[in-house]
Amino acid sequence: MPANDAHRSDLSGPAGSYLPASGGGSDVFFGRKGTAIPLPLIERAEGIRMWDDGGTEYIDMSSGPIVSNIGHGVREVGEAIANQINTVDFACSRIARHRANIQLSDQVARLAGPGFERACFVSGGSEANEIAIKFLRQHAISNGQTNRRHVITCMPSYHGGTFSALAWSGDNTLGNFLDGMVVDSPKVPAPFTYRVPENHTVESYAQHCADALRSKINELGAENVLAFMIEPVGGVATGANVPHELFLREVRKICDENGVYLVFDEVMSGSGRTGKFLSAHYWPDIRPDVAVLAKGLAAGYVPLGAVLVPASMADPLAEDIGFDFSHTYTANPVASAAGCAVLDYTEKHGLMDNATTMGTYLRDQLEGLKASCPLIGDIRGLGLLMSLEMVADQATKKMLPLEAVAADRIRMHGLDNGLMIYSRRTCNGENGEWFMLAPPLTITRPECDELIKRLVATLNSLADELTREGLL
């Protein structure tokens, strides 16, 4: 797929190459020969918009990788960061406390509600998921359950980019990379609601996936299983899949019966993205033992992640063997201050309610467009965490051919139409291809209308290209 030089910067290197003579940005490491997507050089960002060095304007349709919850350039956050830097720039959590951490802990505990009274703050989602599992391992040991080691996850799924988090993630294309490096975690089928086997309804497949978890625990021996980790609303690995409630109820029951901890990875779905602070709040009687946040918690202004646990688990552990797996930037003062400012802004401007309202509006608009946009197969998600799955045939749900590299092409066509799009083909496309519709929670109705207009142009131009090439 040829790159469109219209989006190249002079800083990217010699003509015809994405590799500079020396130095270069991080994009040097992420290129993929033959499918390299030109990356605009962003010079300014405000609200839902970004501008490159040539003055081209883009709507940040996916909030980067579902990060920019409150939009770009919020002055209050910048001022909070600057003030913190000018007062207490750094204080190591092992030897000192600081007010920003105390304030953020109280703020997050209040928003998360009962069962999440204690919070540990780290630098991002991968680290947060690792801390969550380390905490549970320590808790199990404290209770004499030293055999509990297995972490069961779904196929597909994504829980981070460290070796351990990749092993917990479900993507069968990682096999060669991880082989011999880590112990792969046991997997059960993800509870898809769109691509379910022909012999299943959505509800029966939800039960099937729950039964698979029960069988896997029995196979491993309940006494050897530490946790089941799942995204309650899927991220990019499942395209914002929302499991049937039956699945979540059964999972909670199965974990309780077997003494297995239930972890909700809310790195993408948390911090108000779905219309509630935690997507777990949509199912108040299915509370996980641990919830993990990142991304939108500091909304991209600084790196920040959090692990939320009940006081009933944290406090006895602190009095027993303790938990000391902190990192250098655990509860960093500047990150904590940024998190406080982001949450203040979210509450002050009613952004969680806006996520619900604008999410419903965008979904309604897209549902009305399906008939005229043949690439739209499914529209799913909660609030402003949504995805559109692309198909070759709406009636049969036939997937686009792999050679179409639709997940890459939609990004290219998005740039041509003034959209920044985050897309994914998980497991080499065996479950489909999708892109994320997750703009900042500040988006207004007129901005939604403009986004939809640009998205329709993007989908139509991609459909025309695939048709010309005989791929659609």
Q: Where in the chain is the domain with CATH 3.90.1150.10?
A: 40-70+350-468
In sequence order, the β-bridge partners of residue 170 are: 157
Per-residue pLDDT of 259-291, as tens digits, reads 999 999 999 999 999 999 999 999 999 999 999
pLDDT at 231: 97
Q: Do the beta carbons of residue 383 and residue 275 sit within 8 Å?
A: yes
- Two tokens, residue 250: 């059964």
Per-residue pLDDT of 388-404, as tens digits, reads 999 999 999 999 999 99
Per-residue pLDDT of 400-456, as tens digits, reads 999 999 999 999 999 999 999 999 888 888 888 999 999 999 999 999 999 999 999
What does CATH list as the number for 75-348? 3.40.640.10
| Count of all residues that appear for the chain in the document | 472
Per-residue pLDDT of 199-216, as tens digits, reads 999 999 999 999 999 999
What does CATH list as the number for 40-70+350-468? 3.90.1150.10
Q: Do the beta carbons of residue 309 and residue 135 sit within 8 Å?
A: yes
Whole-angstrom Cα distance, residue 200 to residue 377?
19
Q: Which of 11-25, 114-128, 261-275, 400-414 has the lowest mean pLDDT?
A: 11-25
Residue with tokens 């997937």: 399
Average pLDDT over residues 86-110: 94
% of the chain exceeding 70 in pLDDT: 92
- Three-class DSSP category at 291: strand
Predicted confidence (pLDDT) at residue 9 exceeds the cutoff of 80: no
Banded model confidence at residue 19, pLDDT cuts 50, 70, 90: low
pLDDT at 20: 63
pLDDT at 28: 65
Average pLDDT over residues 115-136: 96
Predicted confidence (pLDDT) at residue 382 exceeds the cutoff of 90: yes
Average pLDDT over residues 179-196: 94
Strands of the sheet with 376-382, listed across from one edge? 376-382, 385-390, 433-437, 422-424
Q: What is the pTM of this model?
A: 0.94
Residue 253 main-chain phi, psi, to 5 deg? -65, -45
Predicted confidence (pLDDT) at residue 8 exceeds the cutoff of 80: no
Q: Do the beta carbons of residue 472 and residue 376 sit within 8 Å?
A: no
Single-letter amino acid, residue 397: K
pLDDT at 387: 97
Mean pLDDT of the chain: 92
Chain centre distance of CA 356: 18
Residue 133 main-chain phi, psi, to 5 deg? -70, -40
- Two tokens, residue 16: 């015809």
Whole-angstrom Cα distance, residue 128 to residue 428?
27
Q: What is the dihedral of CA 448, 62, 194, 237, to 10 degrees?
A: -170
Q: Do the beta carbons of residue 352 and residue 276 sit within 8 Å?
A: yes
Per-residue pLDDT of 285-320, as tens digits, reads 999 999 999 999 999 999 999 999 999 999 999 888
- Two tokens, residue 273: 């993205």
% of the chain exceeding 90 in pLDDT: 83
Q: Do the beta carbons of residue 422 and residue 60 sit within 8 Å?
A: no
Q: Do the beta carbons of residue 168 and residue 356 sit within 8 Å?
A: no
Banded model confidence at residue 87, pLDDT cuts 50, 70, 90: very high
Predicted confidence (pLDDT) at residue 14 exceeds the cutoff of 70: no
Q: Where in the chain is the domain with CATH 3.40.640.10?
A: 75-348
pLDDT at 22: 67
Question: How far lies 189's CA from each of 209, 233, 377, in Å?
Answer: 6, 15, 21
pLDDT at 3: 40
End-to-end CA distance of the chain: 16
Whole-angstrom Cα distance, residue 425 to residue 430?
8
Of 239 and 27, more confident: 239
**What is the sign of the dihedral through the CA atoms of 227, 233, 236 and 239?**
positive
Q: DSSP letter string over 30-54?
A: H--TT-PPP---EEEEEBTEEEETT
Q: Which of 180-184, 271-275, 468-472 has the lowest mean pLDDT?
A: 180-184
Average pLDDT over residues 125-137: 96
